[in-house]
Amino acid sequence: MSEKNLDQINSYLSFKLGEETFAANVSKVLNILEMTEITKVPRAPEYMKGVINLRGSVLPVVDTRIKFGMPATEYTSNTCILVMEVEVDGEQVQVGGLVDAVQAVLEIEKEDILPPPSIGSKYRSEFISGMAKIDDRFIMLLNMDRVFSSDEITDLRERTESSKLQQEVSMEEKKEKVKT
Amino acid sequence: MTSMESFQSRFVEEATDNINDLENALLLLEEDPGNKELVERVFRAMHSLKGGGAMFGFDTLSDFTHHMESVYDLVREDKLQVTKDLLNVTLDSVDLMKKLLINDENGPDEASGEYRALVSRIEGFLKGAEVNAGQGPASAGTTGIAEPEKQGVSTYFIHFVPDKDIMKNGTNPLYLIDELSTLGKTQVIANTCNVPDIKEFDTSKCYISWEIFLSTSEDVNAISDVFMFVEDDCMLDIHKLSASDLLNDDRFTREIEGYRLIESEIGINSIKDFVDSLKEEDQARQSQSSKKKVTNGRDNAISSIRVSSDKIDQLMNLVSELVITQASLSLYTENSDNSELQPIAESVQKLTRQLRDNAFSISLIPLESMMTRFQRLVRDLSDELGKDIRFSAKGTETELDKTIIESLTDPLLHIFRNAIDHGIEPPEERIKKGKPGSGEIVLKAFYSGANVVIQVSDDGAGIDPARIREKAVEKQLITPDAVLNSKELLNLLFLPGFSTAKNVTDVSGRGVGMDVVKRKISSIRGEVDIESSPGEGTVITIKLPLTLSIIDGLLVRIGDSQYVIPLSVVDKIFAVEHETLAGAYNNLVVLDGEQVPFYYLREEFGLAGDPPATEEIVVVEYENVRIGLATDSVVGEYQAVLKPLGKFYKEQEIISGATILGDGSIALVLDTNKIINQFSNNNKIKEELS
């Protein structure tokens, strides 16, 4: 279903995590909230920041920076919570993601999207659905379903080695495909 | 969804109701086979299933039901009698109908073995009825089988005491009795207590007297005609017992059977008394059923509507929202000086409360809805195991949240299976122990405060504490020298992997037993308790909250956050100096002159900040052990609307949900049992508990 949406809507919301710019398909983003008080849930993983009251329902909030292996988010006046609907185990679930700043909605045509970087990327390729070049800068387009449905993201850094291997393997496969 | 599909799904819903009704009626019919009204109900349910099935493309179901319907058409016309056999086939058919309904495409079809076997069994009944009908009433009479269509059948009691010398004139009393049985159905009891010792026995004399029960449409004259030629040589008493066919009444035949066993004379008086008591019972039942009819009629007048459960869930969500919004309105009003706002806020509060109670009552359904399944289980299983078990239910009008009822069915079925398989002994064994041959399982439900209590008791063998101990030692759950009282021993049954059944049977005793029951019940915030006295039976008590979505809680503060502890587990609250807690040895604190183990929640939750000088300990009960939870302060009582934390926090079992406070902030609801379980994993308290 997400693939279909991605095909149909070419709008992406870009946001910053640290110095880097990412973008998510707008079909996934329901809402952008200002930073509010987050109720911490005891004994939860570090990246699970807590829960907030979203118009009467309880919304879990994830520190996206920790998920991506960066230091925890420092709250500034630009810090926002992106309310997203993602698919976890075949179920649509709402989740909030902390981001350092929301930037703009970009129209990116399908043919302008490049395949994810293969070697040397800091991020696991399964989370990246593609790259786009905007004003001479590369923006990583995220596959939000994958990002939020994965439990083991906190150890992303430790996994980079294995993911590199995976990427190499997938590179080989691609080469094979090109040849045939 | 196309319109046909939506019609189909509506039909499935309706048909499910019909099938349930059918099953229910059949079970009632078993107890009261002569009840015409029930036969009608069975027939009607089948008829609408057949019609609807054909209309909405469930052809297999429709065809199949048609066979069943033909049989019950005969029953309706009195050409066929309701027998245990017939009911067995019908109930099996109901099971097949359920399957046919779930999936008409991939489920069993005409070709499947189950379908064909059942159809041939049904046809057997049809043929049987035809043969009967072909023979006609006259021939049926001579074979001694009561013909189905008999009018004005009465039951007579005939006491026949021939003179000892009756055989001298060539009369054989047995021929008389044979002749008597041509008039109708008979039950003959020979009384041999006058037969002398073999030494004094004279073979030419008749020492035997007879007591005969005859149900016939003939009158008294026809009966005395039989004895016309021996009138002078015997003592003959003919009494009309009842204007109905008592020999068709199970209770009556059972009673006679009893007399036959004790080999003594019945006597007209005792049997008359018994018949009278039967009549009274019937009358009571009739007035009861007519009362039922009256209430049914009233229900119809009120007319209920069918609402999808999604809509009810939505309503509940909205009401929950409203409760929260109202709480924040009250909070705001309290802090403002606006005097006009006060009464408005108050009436909003009042209305909200009424609306809430109303909405919750909508999602409550009576336990009655589950009873058919249990009755069926008891019936089928006791048949299979050769046991005689009666099931009765009390208080089935007790209502529970539908989500609770849904999750309650499996554990209860398990408890029933246990009672039938392990609890109730086979009839011979029961009689040996001096109990009535038929066992009894009773389900009792009642309200107790904000809880509903469901008790399942049986009068079976009970649970032998010594066997539990033996087993627990064998499974290394306890050490051989562990000192446990019988209550603690019974609680061992709830440990995973514990099953006391000697053999693994098809029914229960696969090693997954009471622990699953316990887990399921606690997942709906309920408690299970087991009591048993060996030889007398077992009582299993389940205590459940009325609703899952709102709980009465105690709001406490720790650091910046607030938490809700369910009020139902809170025992007492104590104020304690921080120093006392910080210096406590082994996490034990003396409260009310009693040592209480406690958990320092601030630390366990990893919260930053400095604790206040005086803290409050909330003492909660856990499996009869008191445990303290140290908090900064107790805020007060709070009615919490439970919101799930969702998938992302599924690992955090110690939190059962969250609730939104009047000021819009969130308080987490603590699951105290899980907290204690988790925190005590590598703790001394665990040892004390086990």
* A81 Cα to chain B: minimum distance (Å): 16
Q: Decide: B148 and B78 in contact? Cβ < 8 Å.
A: yes
Given this model, what pLDDT does residue B623 score? Answer: 66
| Residue B297, in any domain of the structure | no
* B643: DSSP letter: B
| Residue B264, in any domain of the structure | yes
B336 and B390 in a single domain? The answer is no
Q: Name the region of B61 (left: φ>0; alpha: ψ -120 to 50; beta: rest).
A: alpha
- Interchain CB distance below 8 Å, A56 and B644: no
Chain B residues within an 8 Å CB radius of A93? 646-648
Distance between CA B409 and CA B411 in Å, rounded? 6
Distance between CA B69 and CA B80 in Å, rounded? 13
Q: What's the token pair of residue B200?
A: 């004094």
Average pLDDT across chain A, whole number? 77
Distance between CA A28 and CA A37 in Å, rounded? 23
B225 and B183 in a single domain? The answer is yes
Given this model, what pLDDT does residue A84 score? Answer: 92
Give the range of the structural domain holding residue B193, as residue numbers without chain letter: 154-282
Short-list B160, B161, B183, CA closest to B247: B183
**CATH number, domain containing residue A166:** 2.40.50.180
| Residue B303, in any domain of the structure | no
Given this model, what pLDDT does residue B291 score? Answer: 52
B565 and B537 in a single domain? The answer is no
Q: For chain B, first and last CA: distance in Å?
A: 55
Q: What's the token pair of residue B532?
A: 């048993």
Q: Decide: B417 and B510 in contact? Cβ < 8 Å.
A: no
Report the pLDDT averaged over residues A86-113: 87
Given this model, what pLDDT does residue B558 score? Answer: 92
Given this model, what pLDDT does residue A1 score? Answer: 46
| Residue B288, in any domain of the structure | no
Per-residue pLDDT tens for A134-175?
888 888 888 888 888 766 543 344 344 444 444 444 455 555
Given this model, what pLDDT does residue B370 score? Answer: 84
**CATH number, domain containing residue B190:** 3.30.70.260
* A151 Cα to chain B: minimum distance (Å): 9
The per-residue DSSP string of B223-256 comes to HHHHTGGGGGGEEEEEEEEESS-GGG-HHHHHHH
- The CA dihedral of B60, B66, B68, B72, to the nearest 10 degrees, is 160
Q: Which residues of chain B have pLDDT under 70?
A: 1-4, 103-111, 129-151, 260-266, 286-303, 449-450, 497, 499-512, 547-549, 623, 679-690
Q: What's the token pair of residue A29?
A: 């983003």
Q: What's the token pair of residue B189?
A: 């009891």
Per-residue pLDDT for A74 more than 70?
yes
The domain total for chain A is 1
Distance between CA B635 and CA B558 in Å, rounded? 10
Given this model, what pLDDT does residue A43 score? Answer: 84
SS3 B200: helix
Given this model, what pLDDT does residue B72 score? Answer: 82
Of A48, A57, A88, the CB nearest to B649: A48
Distance between CA B551 and CA B657 in Å, rounded? 11
Beta bridge partners of residue B636, listed in sequence order: B555
B650 CB within 8 Å of a chain A CB: no
B411 and B524 in a single domain? The answer is yes
Given this model, what pLDDT does residue B289 score? Answer: 57
* A83: DSSP letter: E
Given this model, what pLDDT does residue B455 score? Answer: 92
* A119 Cα to chain B: minimum distance (Å): 31
Chain B residues within an 8 Å CB radius of A88? 647-648
Amino acid at B363: S
B493 and B508 in a single domain? The answer is yes
Strands B537-545, B451-458: parallel, antiparallel or unpaired by DSSP?
Answer: antiparallel
B673 and B565 in a single domain? The answer is yes
* A61 Cα to chain B: minimum distance (Å): 9
Distance between CA B121 and CA B85 in Å, rounded? 10
Distance between CA B670 and CA B677 in Å, rounded? 13
Find the closest chain B residue to A92 by CA distance: B647
- Interchain CB distance below 8 Å, A57 and B325: no
Chain B residues within an 8 Å CB radius of A37? 665
- Sorted by sequence, the CB contacts under 8 Å of residue A84 that are 6+ apart come out as A24, A28, A29, A30, A94, A95, A96, A97, A144, A148
Residue showing tokens 């009003």:
B333
Of A52, A57, A60, the CB nearest to B649: A60
The domain total for chain B is 5
Short-list B647, B209, B89, B628, CA closest to A62: B647
Per-residue pLDDT for A61 more than 90?
yes
| Residue B146, in any domain of the structure | no
Amino acid at B151: Q
Given this model, what pLDDT does residue B450 score? Answer: 64
Give the range of the structural domain holding residue A123, as residue numbers without chain letter: 2-179
Taking only Cα atoms into account, the Rg of chain A, rounded to an integer number of angstroms, comes to 17
Distance between CA B33 and CA B623 in Å, rounded? 48
Given this model, what pLDDT does residue B109 score? Answer: 62
B651 CB within 8 Å of a chain A CB: yes
Distance between CA A133 and CA A108 in Å, rounded? 9
- ipTM score for this prediction: 0.76
Distance between CA B283 and CA B285 in Å, rounded? 5
| Residue B65, in any domain of the structure | yes
| Residue B145, in any domain of the structure | no
| Residue B647, in any domain of the structure | yes
Distance between CA B587 and CA B179 in Å, rounded? 91
Given this model, what pLDDT does residue B678 score? Answer: 73
Given this model, what pLDDT does residue B507 score? Answer: 46
B359 and B478 in a single domain? The answer is no
Q: Decide: B396 and B366 in contact? Cβ < 8 Å.
A: yes
- Sorted by sequence, the CB contacts under 8 Å of residue B584 that are 6+ apart come out as B598
Distance between CA B311 and CA A53 in Å, rounded? 24
